[in-house]
Amino acid sequence: MSKRCLIVVNPVSGRSKGRRAAPRLAEGLEERGIEAETVSTEAPGDGQQAAERADPAEVSAILCVGGDGTVNEVVNGLAGKDIPVALFPTGTGNVLAKEFGIRPKADAVCDAVAAGRTVELALGVVNGRRFVLFVGGGFDAAVARRFEQTRNGPVSKLSYLLPILHVLLRYSCPDIDVTVDGEPVGSSPHVLIANVRSFGGPFVMVPDADPTSDLLDVCLIGGKTRFTLLRRGWGAFRHRLLSHRAVRHVQGRTINLRAGGLAPFQVDGDFFGCDDLAIRMIDDRLTFIVPPTD
């Protein structure tokens, strides 16, 4: 099969960096003998629909130009298809890019697509939706909800400052009951189900998390006061969150989170709702294109 890459672009990501980068990426791929087709997303779900339309017999790779949300949409559109996915990161968190040292450099990303070096990433499903990075309940999800409610115009890391302060001052912390592989493991006001090490920015929640493993890391994070929340954030900033006595860490393949509609949840950084969650690993894998080794 001749090489053909579908470029799925979030044009507003990174203050329109995605829109500006798309022509350079298409040109770079063509220079490397890879036919390129560009599709821009205009509304939530467009990335998923573009991936659903992709025919593995015609498309040899999909290049996401955007953030972790764009990758999540494409992953959900690829159910049952084995089309490698590459990433040109222009989002706010860029968690998946940081996991593999992918920088927003057009030549480097085009080289990676041409080289075709891949890893097989484990995937999870939460209430029927696939995820690559993590599921969170409690404070982080409340910030994602507030951010979604107040989002207006271009987004940067500073766009999260007011939502974080709002939640820090006003959020009440209901307990979330956690069951792992059929066994109750406790309740906590803040829960993270992680498939990767990073949590965006300088924060590392689970330093030994392995996105190729078939196990998810489950963190029950204690603390309801503003002071304890700040301490947990400082621990994540120092990559030492799991050393806190109020943090419990286990692993498993099936996780249930129950809070009776009282706690918010986020999936791959986006607000997901307040319904109880059923989470499990699946056999399907994401073939992810990573930078070639030297």
pLDDT at 157 over 80: no
pLDDT at 1 over 70: no
For residue 200, CA distances in Å to 92, 97, 122, 131 come to 8, 10, 19, 16
pLDDT tens digits, one per residue of 58-78: 999 999 999 999 999 999 999
Pair 11, 40: CB distance under 8 Å: yes
Give the contacts of 256 (CB within 8 A, at least 6 positions apart). 177, 178, 179, 276, 277, 278, 279
Q: Which domains does the chain have, with CATH numbers?
A: 4-116 (3.40.50.10330), 129-282 (2.60.200.40)
pLDDT tens digits, one per residue of 227-249: 888 888 888 888 888 888 889 99
pLDDT tens digits, one per residue of 132-154: 999 999 999 999 999 989 887 66
- Compute how many other C-beta atoms are within 10 angstroms of the C-beta atom of residue 138: 28
- Compute how many other C-beta atoms are within 10 angstroms of the C-beta atom of residue 100: 16
Backbone φ, ψ for residue 287 (5° rounding): -80, 110
Q: State the sign of the Cα–Cα–Cα–Cα dihedral 262, 267, 268, 271.
A: negative
Question: What's the pLDDT band for 199 if we cut at 50, 70, 90?
Answer: confident
Radius of gyration from C-alpha coordinates of the chain: 19
CA 180 to chain centre: 21
Question: What's the pLDDT band for 85 if we cut at 50, 70, 90?
Answer: very high
Poorest-confidence range of 134-143, 149-158, 199-208, 250-259? 149-158
